[in-house]
Amino acid sequence: MTTIELDIEPIDQGNGAIGIPTLTRTLLSLQKVLFQIGTMVAESSVPHERGDFKSDVRDACRLAVRSLSIGSPMHSVLELASPNQMTLFPIGQEALDKMFQLTEAVTGMATWGDVAQILPSESFRRQILSTFKSICPVDSEKVTVSISSGGAGRRFLLSESVRSRAQVFAAQVDPSDTVEERLLIGPVRKLNNNPMEFAIQCGKRELACPYNDEYEEQLIELWRSRSVASVKAVCHVVRHEDVDDDIRSIADINGVEAVDDGALVVSEVSGDSVALRFPQPLVIQPDFSENMVAFIYPPLRAFAFGDSRDDAERALRDYIVWAWLNYARAEDSELTLDAVGIRDELHRLIREEPS
């Protein structure tokens, strides 16, 4: 039976130490990758009449520590805790073999096609690779991580460059696709029947969000908090040239934060030596339909967009000042019929304060 030998070693042998968060994340990510691969394997090989087999898969892929040596490096030997589980379908061992095939591919010279052959399911491939990269350390942790299949098995060094390579593979859906970083804004929803668990509403589309454990608590909180129903996520996406919306899928998430979806109340604006007051404050609800924050007020032809709420609000205030200077002070003869309507609405809404 194949075992996993895991070594975590401080780069600075004299003063270095292995942080508990690094150790915990590495072990949990290793276990999660095995669960995810096992689920993928089971879905393609276990007869449908078997029913819900997820608990069996978790039992079959559960790892146990056979030996642990605390030192430099920290050396541990892991093995399947229940090697005989599901004897008709040796999911655990097959998942373990595929994990080492994947490790060899990502650390070596493999192409996207090689990785796709190991992980044929597109949705599982993105999910597994997103988790796999969490096994790899970042440079700031100042440790090296390596794994082997035990005995005389080849040892694979997992570095930050391997982490980046896994992220690139996760982002690709087809060799013809390109990978871009986009800012997506929309409500978060829980996907109970999807292994990726969360999705973000982007305009009329709902896109599944693969994510690392570091973002799980934020996503759960955003989903539960119905008063703040929007998330700003920097995501890797792949192009889809056949439609106007060129996002085919989200490959990974690099950051998550809440977006204030409360109404904007404008009572005064100023700029370019002019101060304007709204006797009746202008109240505008934000719009998130174009993966940006927008404040739209059609009577003034105000369409203010930004990558953040602050940017959109600044754009709106700048537009109001510009409109006042160019329309409110103009004569009828200088304006088109449409511009006259904007001028009249400005006069109805705003009072100019003495300078």
The arithmetic mean of pLDDT across residues 302-330, rounded, is 90
pLDDT: which is higher, 314 or 22:
314
pLDDT digits (tens, 9 = 90+) for 118-146: 998 877 888 898 889 889 888 888 888 88
Q: Is the pLDDT of residue 269 over 80?
A: yes
* Distance of alpha carbon 309 from alpha carbon 237, whole angstroms: 22
Write out the DSSP string of 149-193: -STTPPEEEE-HHHHHHHHHHHH-SSTT--EEEEEEEE-EEE-TT
- 113: how many CB neighbours lie within 10 A of its CB? 9
Q: Is the pLDDT assigned to residue 107 strictly greater than 80?
A: yes
Q: Is the dihedral of CA 92, 57, 35, 118 positive or negative?
A: positive
225-232 mean pLDDT:
55
Would you state the structure tokens that stand for residue 6, as one six-digit string?
């895991």
Type of residue at 34: L
- Domain 179-258 CATH (choose: 1.25.40, 1.10.8, 3.30.930, 2.40.50): 2.40.50
C-alpha torsion sign, points 322, 324, 329, 333: positive
Query: Does position 88 have pLDDT exceeding 50, yes or no?
Result: no
Average pLDDT over residues 46-63: 68
Q: Summarize pLDDT for 237-258 with one digit per residue, the tens.
A: 555 444 455 676 777 777 777 7
Break the chain into its structural domains and give their ranges: 4-171, 179-258, 264-352
Predicted local distance difference test score (pLDDT) of residue 227: 44
Q: Is the dihedral of CA 127, 105, 31, 42 positive or negative?
A: positive
Surface-to-core class of residue 59, CB atoms within 10 Å of its CB (0-12 exposed, 13-18 middle, 19+ buried): middle
List, as one string, the DSSP characters of 278-323. EEEEEEE-EE-TTSSEEEEEGGGTEEEEESSHHHHHHHHHHHHHHH
Report the predicted TM-score, pTM, of the whole model to 2 decimal places: 0.53
